[in-house]
Amino acid sequence: MPVTRGFVRRRPDGPEGRLPPGQYDTGSGWPVLTAEATPRISPDTWKITVDGLVDHPTSWTWDEVHQLSRSTYTGDIHCVTTWSKFDVAFTGVSVDVLLEAATPRPEAAFVMAHSSTGYTTNLPLSDVTGGKAWVVWDHGGKPLAREHGGPVRLLVPHLYFWKSAKWISRLELMAHDQPGFWERNGYHDRGDPWLEQRYQGD
């Protein structure tokens, strides 16, 4: 799949100091962008698994993950296609809680996030620990919409939003970095919006 640099630049409105370079404030809108068909996933059949380089590979069903300690992220999100959305609120469970149960091995340094659709994206373990990432099912007090990754998506808000995999089903811990879907197709391995890490070489 070719990578296009044809993103449209718009007027960079937004709260001062909160809009990364090259971004615009999408306001009340939330553009829907995806690399695959939007699946229909029932909460009754959904589960999340943490495995790979862990001492205790663990899976949680919808009911089980809702029994874990919940937390809410309130802040901003930024898409590589240049839009940003301010003051969003997502509720779910911190990735830290899942990793605590699975117990990462000392050699674990990276995570591959897998979606139910087969989509993948790679992240340094340091980018999903320390209160920086969540598995979320609620947006703005309502169930997360299917087109935005519902019933459950990964949320890594300090990186470009392709790293926040929709329809999350698995977190695989690895010793070495491996590219995910968009990373194999030219996107940056990390994706820091403040450094404009959109493409390989940025």
Q: Considering only 34-38, 43-47, 61-65, 121-125, which range has the smallest mean pLDDT?
A: 34-38
Residue-wise pLDDT for 106-124, tens only, equals 999 999 999 999 999 999 9
CATH number corresponding to 47-185: 3.90.420.10
Confidence of residue 29 (pLDDT cuts 50, 70, 90): confident
Give whole-number Cα distances, 202 to 3, 41, 71, 190, 191, in Å: 14, 36, 33, 10, 9
Could you tell me which residues are beta bridge partners of residue 58?
Answer: 50
Residue 9 has pLDDT above 50, yes or no: no
**Measured in whole angstroms, how far is the alpha carbon of residue 200 from the centre of its chain?**
19
Beta carbons of 159 and 191 less than 8 angstroms apart: yes
Mean pLDDT of 18-30: 92
Could you tell me which residues are beta bridge partners of residue 25?
Answer: 84
146 DSSP 8-state letter: G
The per-residue pLDDT for 117 is 95
Confidence of residue 14 (pLDDT cuts 50, 70, 90): low
Global pTM reads 0.91
Report the mean per-residue pLDDT for the chain. 92
Residues 6+ apart with CB under 8 A from 56: 101, 102, 103
Q: Is the dihedral of CA 59, 108, 161, 25 positive or negative?
A: positive
The per-residue pLDDT for 11 is 46
- Please, what is the end-to-end C-alpha distance for the chain in angstroms? 20
> Reduced to 3 states, what is the DSSP secondary structure of residue 90?
strand
Residue 2 has pLDDT above 70, yes or no: no
Residue 8 has pLDDT above 70, yes or no: no
Q: What residue ranges do the domains of the chain occupy?
A: 47-185
